[in-house]
A = this chain, B = another copy of it.
Amino acid sequence: MEQFWTARPKADQPQWLERRIEFDTYAATRDFLERLNDFCEAEQRFPDISFGRTYVNLTLRAAADDQPLGPADHAFASAIDGLL
């Protein structure tokens, strides 16, 4: 997981995780977005998602405001990796 997601703003108390994913085609981008949205809806947790034709950027904030990221946040990020 560490090689994919970047903790922000600093390593010792990150407040959010970011990941950029690139795809070869728009169809692949849409397929991933569909799985991602289904998963977010099931979990009722909604990261900030940006996308274009062949990329998706994800920003995952700590579940609790003003708290550092915890194991549940990393597990959520890892589950998104599993959608790829």
Contacts and interface: CB of A to CB of B under 8 A. Distances in A.
Interface of A: 26, 30, 33, 37, 41, 46-53
Nearest to A49: B51
Nearest to A53: B46
A53 to B, nearest CB: 4
A82 to B, nearest CB: 21
B26 A30 contact: no
Contacts of A26: 41, 46
B37 A46 contact: no
Nearest to A47: B52
Contact of A50 (B30, B37, B48, B53): B48
Contacts of A46: 26, 52-53
A76 to B, nearest CB: 15
